[in-house]
Each structure stands twice: as C-alpha cells, then as structure tokens.
Amino acid sequence: MRWMLDHMLWEASGAAGRGFWPGLWATRKLLIALAGSGVLTWREWVEHRPPEIVIIALIHFVFVFAVIALLVYAGLWFRARKMPSSQTSP
C-alpha cells in the first residue's frame, strides 16, 4: 500500500513547492489513468446502458492504472539495476 501511495497516487519528485500545478504534476499517473480509461469508455459508450457503463468505466480505470503501475515498477527495477553497487572493491 505504501508503494502505491508513494509511486502511483502522489509522487512529488520533480514537483517543487505547493499549489495547483505541482499538485497536478504529483498526481500525473492518476490523471493519465483517468484520461486513458475515459477514452476507452468513450469508445464503448453507445454499446452499453448507463448502469453497465459505470462498471465498464471502473474496469477500464483499474486496467489502465495496473498497466501504469507495471510500467513504473519495471522502470524502477531497471533503474536500480543500472545503479552501481554500494560495495567497494578491495
């Protein structure tokens, strides 16, 4: 849960200070997931009734957010592999 909060919901790296724009930058992955799920849901809007479209929109959001989380995790993993080890050679 802590990883999700630190890396997905509110990542303040690169956001200096407080205010509207730094807040948007800190929540960019969440906003991208909302936009992506909105596009996917918009494409299916005419095929479903209102109660169904809410469930479909939720499924789209979870799917897009999970894909973003996997990309972030893979990026962190590759970045950690590139960093030199903290061990000193004799």
Q: What is the pLDDT of residues 6-60, one digit of tens each?
A: 667 676 666 555 777 777 777 888 889 999 999 999 888 888 888 889 999 999 9
pLDDT in tens, 60-76: 999 999 998 888 888 88
**Residue 89 scores a pLDDT above 50:** no
Place of tokens 């930058």: 25
* Burial readout 59-88 (b: 16 or more C-beta within 10 A, e: otherwise): ebbeebbeebbeebeeeeeeeeeeeeeeee
pLDDT of residue 57: 92
Residue pair 15/36 in contact by the 8 Å Cβ criterion: no
For residue 23, what pLDDT is reported?
74
Which CA distances in Å does 43 have to 21, 24, 37? 30, 26, 10
- Higher-pLDDT residue of 5 and 90 is 5
What ranges do the domains of the chain cover? 24-76
